[in-house]
Amino acid sequence: MPILDQSNPLPFFKSLYHGFNARLGSPADRRDSIEDILTYAFESFERGVEHAPENLAALACHGGCASCCTIRVAATAPEILLIARAIKSSPKTMEFELSRKIAGADRATQQLDERQRMESGFACPFIARDLCVIYSVRPLACRGHASFDERACIDALAGRACDVPISALHMTVRSLVQNAMQAALRDAGRAWGVYELNQALHIALADDACETVWAQGVDVFASALIADVSLEEMAETFDALKAHIA
Ligand code: SF4
């Protein structure tokens, strides 16, 4: 994989797009492809941010700080299905507790827009003692949200007006990885939108057939779709990008 050149991200996107296409596999092995796709996505993200410019300030994010874990989390279907798998394979008491918290978070936040959600201060159901209990499978959205100033994050969480300095590099790499995955999913005939995490997980945990049905091309999380940008607009962008890298 090429190193990300922020002044020309197309080669990086092209490499990712072909990598995802290769991993989506044939219809016969679709179930196993979810883990493969996301291992590639998460490794690509880490590789994309590890060659940060030397003048990039140190990140303030660290274990035990969950200040930003009140924001709305958008995730693709493979990310949601992988987290659902992790929850279902956890000890029964933990599975029950997480399912209960996810259902509660869904009820409390489903009607809130992104701003209201942040202002509500409603914590992500995966926070326990300020740590993320699904850290190894957390979505790209969480990986791409990196702050340079812990004090600013705490102030923002407390509702005090302030600009939180966020790493543009992490946001860019997250977008490139996620968009390349979405473009490849779309080409493979699978639902490729982004969904509100709690709402979509509530659906996935209630129905064991979700993964199989999604692999058949059905948008099982349609009711949780985040449509800040329409699918039509995104499809046009992906087609334009593919024309550039053909
Ligand atoms: S999934 Fe984990 S990292 Fe993401 S918002 Fe929830 S607790 Fe925070």
- Whether 1 maps to a domain, the answer reads no
- Whether 5 maps to a domain, the answer reads no
Tell me the pLDDT of the chain (246 aa) as tens digits: 677 888 889 999 999 999 999 998 765 555 568 999 999 999 999 999 987 777 778 899 888 888 888 889 999 999 999 999 999 999 999 999 999 999 999 999 988 887 888 778 888 999 998 899 999 999 999 999 999 988 888 888 877 767 889 999 999 999 999 999 999 999 999 999 999 999 999 999 999 999 999 999 999 999 999 988 999 999 999 999 989 888
What residue's CA is closest to ligand 1, atom 2?
A: 132
From the CA of 89, how far away is ligand 1's center (Å)?
Answer: 19
Please work out whether the CB of residue 126 comes within 6 Å of at least one atom of ligand 1. yes
- Whether 3 maps to a domain, the answer reads no
Looking at the CA of residue 71, tell me the nearest atom of ligand 1. Answer: 5
Q: What is the count of structural domains for the chain?
A: 1
Looking at the CA of residue 73, tell me the nearest atom of ligand 1. Answer: 5
pLDDT for 218 equals 96
From the CA of 142, how far away is ligand 1's center (Å)?
Answer: 6
Measured over the CA atoms of residue 128, residue 130, residue 131 and residue 134, the dihedral's sign is: positive
Q: Residue 27: which domain range?
A: 10-245
Question: What phi-psi label fits residue 59: left (phi over 0), alpha (psi between -120 and 50 degrees) or beta?
Answer: beta
- Whether 78 maps to a domain, the answer reads yes
Ligand 1 site-directed mutation target among 101, 117, 134, most atoms within 8 Å of CB:
134
Ligand 1 site-directed mutation target among 62, 65, 69, most atoms within 8 Å of CB:
69
pLDDT for 32 equals 65
Closest CA to 214 of 24, 73, 30, 74: 30
pLDDT for 5 equals 85
Please work out whether the CB of residue 118 comes within 6 Å of at least one atom of ligand 1. no
> Which residues lie closer than 8 Å to 41 by C-beta, 6 or more apart?
20, 78, 140, 177, 178, 181
- Whether 204 maps to a domain, the answer reads yes
- Whether 2 maps to a domain, the answer reads no
Looking at the CA of residue 124, tell me the nearest atom of ligand 1. Answer: 6
Q: Is there a contact between 207 and 214 (Cβ–Cβ < 8 Å)?
A: no
pLDDT for 231 equals 95
Q: CA-to-CA distance for 147 and 145, rounded, in angstroms?
A: 7
pTM listed for this prediction: 0.93
- Whether 92 maps to a domain, the answer reads yes
- Whether 4 maps to a domain, the answer reads no
pLDDT for 57 equals 82
